[in-house]
């Protein structure tokens, strides 16, 4: 295994935070072996014991919000208030599954003749999670809370840039009293993930990340006949109809574009506006965007921190530049700041059309693409003109129309009316198309990594 260290770099300054040695082959084999043994013992526990420990994990998160939030902001750059909110949300998902797992996984009795017949939900064993840097706590806990409550063990391969966060999460579960080796972080580069998937101990894989990463993991897991859940990218459309209330819609749209520095799979990315409201929407949107303050992410008064890395920032700027070269009009931003770190300003592109990166690709940063539609039907057509299908929203004064569009016409896994798209422990989360498959959260999510077993007694 490579001797190359995993590096955490502060994106606000570009300076090295810390380097971490990768696990060698022997250490990795020992971790996997330990996880298998721990998962077998954990499977024997009852929901009462699991729930008590998960509530302790939630308590640890709440007690250490400041510490964990500063770690998140240091490693990936999001504004500190958003980091605190992320930690709080992790506590919520722990509490949610601690309270509901037993109910969700109770035997479901079915009348099929014989003495009795029912569906049981048994844990699979050890689940491998390949997680991204953008929500370094939340992405992990929304997988780990249901997986552990279902009786599984977990191995975390986190993004290399947030290795400090990965180590902290493992320590948190240990401090909360979970059995040793049940939840472990493996410090390896992406090139070694395939070897871990091949190990017979690994029974399933969940990944949140890029389409390219999803294809690679799905191909390897498929070759091993192991189940996967994939949450990949998004190019979320926000449809603005003629009767939309722009007083409420515009601030929601701007926040939906800028949350987490625009580095969210479900961040608003394409704003599809019927032509009769286009000029008004653009003016209001630009005014709202330019009032957002970019600066030190540790300062609670700032709305926008740096991008997660300079290389990602440069890819984003390349998408903006190429879109402008193809005819998009830059109404705000679009220029690289002259300062150290991975900074990029709030940017608004208008006149975005097919063939431009801002129309065709996932734009992962604080860049809004405004697209004109002739009418409601055209707006829905444009919204669905994408290979992605994670989130979508529609803004309208007619709730019935909005509900019809969200419920039946927008092609995405999560559709909101007059609000921004977000995940919630109580609601299933996931996408279609190039946004992946499978569902996390709610009672759907906890069943993804169980053996849905038929039992028939004559």
The pLDDT assigned to 2 comes to: 56
CB 148 within 8 A of CB 124: no
CA pair distance 177, 19, nearest whole angstrom: 28
The pLDDT assigned to 445 comes to: 98
Q: Is 330 a catalytic residue?
A: no
Q: Write out pLDDT tens, residues 70-95.
A: 999 999 999 999 999 999 999 999 99
Q: Write out pLDDT tens, residues 276-291.
A: 999 999 999 999 999 9
Is the CATH number of domain 6-233+433-457 1.10.390.10? no
CA dihedral 43, 48, 51, 53 (to 10 degrees): -80
Q: Which ranges constitute the DSSP H helices of 105-235?
A: 138-149, 163-175, 193-198, 211-223
Please report the DSSP string for 128-145 in residue order: EEE--SSSTTHHHHHHHH
**All CATH 3.40.309.10 domain ranges in the chain, comma separated:** 236-387+391-417
The pLDDT assigned to 330 comes to: 98
CB 166 within 8 A of CB 109: no
Q: Write out pLDDT tens, residues 312-350.
A: 999 999 999 999 999 999 999 999 999 999 999 999 999
236-387+391-417 to CATH, choices 3.40.309.10, 3.30.230.30, 2.50.20.10, 3.30.200.20: 3.40.309.10
- Report in angstroms the alpha-carbon separations of 290 from 30, 132, 348: 52, 29, 10
pTM above 0.85, yes or no: yes
**All CATH 3.40.605.10 domain ranges in the chain, comma separated:** 6-233+433-457
Q: Three-state secondary structure along 280-331?
A: HHHHHHHHHHHCCCECCCCCCCCCECCCCCHHHHHHHHHHHHHHHHCCCEEE
CA pair distance 184, 294, nearest whole angstrom: 36
The pLDDT assigned to 4 comes to: 86
Catalytic option among 170, 231, 282, 362: 231
Please report the DSSP string for 34-74 in residue order: HHHHHHHHHTTS-HHHHHHHHHHHHHHHHHTHHHHHHHHHH
- Residues of the chain below pLDDT 70: 1-3
Catalytic option among 94, 253, 265, 415: 265
Q: Is 19 a catalytic residue?
A: no
CA pair distance 257, 264, nearest whole angstrom: 9
The pLDDT assigned to 1 comes to: 59
């Amino acid at each position: 295994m490579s001797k190359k260290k995993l590096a955490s770099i502060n994106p606000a300054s570009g300076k090295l935070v810390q380097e971490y040695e990768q696990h060698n082959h022997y250490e990795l084999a020992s971790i996997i072996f330990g996880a298998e043994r721990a998962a077998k013992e954990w499977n024997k526990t009852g929901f009462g014991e699991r729930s008590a420990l998960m509530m302790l994990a939630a308590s640890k998160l709440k007690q250490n919000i400041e510490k964990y939030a500063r770690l998140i902001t240091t490693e990936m750059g999001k504004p500190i208030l958003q980091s605190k909110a992320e930690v709080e949300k992790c506590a919520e998902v722990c509490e949610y599954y601690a309270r509901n797992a037993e109910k969700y996984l109770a035997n479901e009795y079915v009348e099929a003749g014989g003495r009795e017949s029912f569906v049981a939900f048994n844990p699979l064993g050890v689940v491998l999670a390949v997680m991204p840097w953008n929500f370094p706590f939340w992405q992990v806990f929304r997988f780990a809370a249901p997986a552990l409550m279902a009786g599984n063990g977990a191995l975390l391969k986190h993004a290399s840039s947030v290795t400090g966060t990965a180590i902290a999460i493992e320590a948190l579960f240990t401090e909360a009293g979970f059995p040793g080796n049940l939840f472990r972080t493996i410090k390896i580069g992406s090139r070694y993930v395939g070897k871990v998937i091949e190990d017979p101990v690994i029974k399933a894989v969940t990944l949140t990340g890029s389409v390219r990463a999803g294809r690679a993991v799905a191909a390897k897991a498929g070759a091993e006949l192991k189940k996967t859940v994939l949450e990949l990218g998004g190019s979320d459309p926000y449809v603005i109809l003629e009767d939309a209330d722009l007083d409420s819609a515009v601030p929601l749209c701007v926040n939906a574009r800028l949350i987490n520095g625009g580095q969210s799979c479900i961040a608003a990315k394409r704003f599809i506006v019927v032509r009769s409201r286009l000029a008004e929407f653009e003016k209001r949107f630009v005014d709202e965007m330019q009032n957002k303050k970019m600066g030190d992410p540790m300062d609670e008064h700032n709305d926008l921190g740096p991008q997660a890395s300079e290389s990602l920032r440069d890819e984003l700027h390349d998408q903006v530049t190429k879109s402008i070269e193809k005819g998009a009009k830059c109404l705000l931003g679009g220029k690289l700041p002259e300062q150290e770190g991975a900074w990029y300003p709030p940017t608004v592109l208008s006149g975005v059309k097919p063939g431009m990166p801002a129309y065709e690709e996932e734009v992962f940063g604080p860049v809004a693409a405004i697209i004109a539609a002739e009418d409601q039907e055209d707006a829905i057509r444009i919204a669905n003109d994408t290979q992605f299908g994670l989130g979508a929203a529609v803004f309208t004064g007619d709730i019935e129309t909005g509900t019809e569009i969200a419920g039946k016409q927008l092609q995405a896994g999560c559709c909101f009316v007059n609000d921004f798209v977000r995940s919630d422990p109580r609601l299933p989360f996931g996408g279609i198309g190039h946004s992946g498959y499978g569902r996390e959260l709610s009672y759907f999510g906890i069943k993804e990594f169980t053996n849905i077993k038929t039992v028939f007694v004559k």
